[in-house]
Amino acid sequence: MFLLVSGLFTGMLLLDDLFLLHERVLPGYLHWRQRYIYLGYMTITLGYLAGFRKIIFRTDHLLLVLALGFFFLSVAVDCIAARWGHLIPVYHLFEDGFKLFGIVSWLGYFANTSLQWLARPE
């Protein structure tokens, strides 16, 4: 169940990033404020982490912590850039760089966890 929900959660994040749901679609067409969208994602993430905390703590979770940290930094840069982006013309480099490191860490965590579970003798 953990890997299934994790895959669905990953797919949700992928679709959001691919179609710019939190930046353009939801605020532009549905008039949702971006801060509430981020609050919703934070609530979903905390619910996911709380719901699977026992499983997560039994895994090698350093890469997951790194991924969440990088995603947080990416969102922080996005929020700062919304107000002061004109002062830092290369803020996209930081935002997308942190996001890339988060994606790689996320992939590493789930690939490692999946391989360990497949290698376990039952």
Q: What is the pLDDT of residue 86?
A: 76
Predicted TM-score (pTM) of this structure: 0.89
Q: What is the pLDDT of residue 87?
A: 78
Q: What is the pLDDT of residue 83?
A: 85
Q: Rounded mean pLDDT of the chain?
A: 94
Q: What is the pLDDT of residue 88?
A: 79
Rounded alpha-carbon distances, angstroms, from residue 69 to 29, 64, 73: 30, 9, 6
CB 77 within 8 A of CB 96: no
Q: Which residues of the chain have pLDDT under 70?
A: 121-122
